Structure 1
Amino acid sequence: MASPRVFTSLDELGTAVGTELGPGDWLEVDQKRIDLFAEATGDHQWIHVDPGRAAEGPFGTTIAHGYLTLSLLPALVPRLMRVEGVRMGVNYGLNRVRFPAPVPVGARLRAAARILDVREVEGGAQVTLAVTVEREGGEKPVCVAETVSRLFT
């Protein structure tokens, strides 16, 4: 099990711009997770939730929603880094997101990231990461995202 990189403060994080993090530990995407995401979002397209029909489809099985893969970043990024002294973090936005490859049910995913920018904001820092999510055995990443978060002390 890989340990996340621990930064002792936002100042230390600020000196780490350009640092590569990870890859982190694997996380499995099972059908239950896909079904719960479909229920939460109202996206019940058969390619995600109907294993029988999806078996006859282009991927031979159900696949995770692209936005489900993106929504796993709050579970995957803490496997890469942690900043001590932060009382709260919020997602501020995304500069760019792509889903170059599908995530078949049962796939194991992990992330790696590069710290692109850390800038001071009132009460904390705004952190921009280039995050790449890969599928075990996959040739292409399943998600590439430039995330913007705000960390408050």
Structure 2
Amino acid sequence: MVVINNFEEYKSYSGIEIGVSKWHTIDQNQINRFADATLDHQWIHTDEERAKVEGPFKSTIAHGYLTLSLIPYLWKQIADVRNIKMEINYGIESFKFGQAVLVNNEVQLKAKLNSIVNLRGVTKVVIEATLIIKDQPKPAYTGNVVFLYHFI
């Protein structure tokens, strides 16, 4: 894990990979809980028997938004940003889903610092986030996540 204490330390990662998270298994229980939370119970996510027979993947798959919602959890395994009063999830940009995440797939977040700017005391960073699926050639997605940090 990378420890970042201030703007200058953060800036030193400009244009390079900051790190990767641990592997996380997306199981059916997590998919079902996400379906309940978002009211998205489409059968391709929640009906294991139907997905085996009728689904294009012969398995249930994770919601795309479930995989996106893992970014804060996985990001905290990559970087420990310290000396901040507040951190804000500011936006997501240009995300493309490249491959479905099947139930019980293991995923890992890879993060690269695309840009960093000091906006009169607020640090805005754009992180290129890539969700890797274990043993798969294509990522689940790639896109940019934007954070705002208020360093002390």
The TM-score range, normalised by the shorter chain, is: over 0.9
Deviation string, structure 1 residues 44-101 (Cα, Å, up to 9, x no partner):
1100000010111111111000111011001111111122212321111112111100
Q: CA RMSD in A?
A: 1.2
The TM-score normalised by the length of structure 1 is 0.92
Q: Contact 1:10/1:83 (CA < 8 Å) preserved in 2?
A: no
Moved over 4 A (4+): none
Aligned pair count reads: 150
The one-letter amino acid paired with 1:7 is I
The one-letter amino acid paired with 2:5 is T
Q: CA offset at residue 123 of structure 1? A: 4.3
State how 1:9-28 maps to structure 2 within 5 Å: 9-28=6-25
Q: CA offset at residue 138 of structure 1? A: 1.0
State how 1:85-124 maps to structure 2 within 5 Å: 85-124=83-122
SS of the aligned residue for 1:134 comes to strand
**Separation in 1, partners of 2:124, 2:109:** 20
**Separation in 1, partners of 2:18, 2:36:** 33
Please list every run of 5 or more consecutive structure 2 residues that lacks an aligned counterpart in the other structure.
none
The TM-score normalised by the length of structure 2 is 0.93
Q: Contact 1:116/1:130 (CA < 8 Å) preserved in 2?
A: yes
Please list every run of 5 or more consecutive structure 1 residues that lacks an aligned counterpart in the other structure.
none
**Separation in 1, partners of 2:98, 2:133:** 11
Q: Contact 1:23/1:111 (CA < 8 Å) preserved in 2?
A: yes
The one-letter amino acid paired with 1:94 is I
In proportion to residue count, which structure has more strand? Answer: 2
| Residue among 29, 42, 46 paired with 2:43 | 46
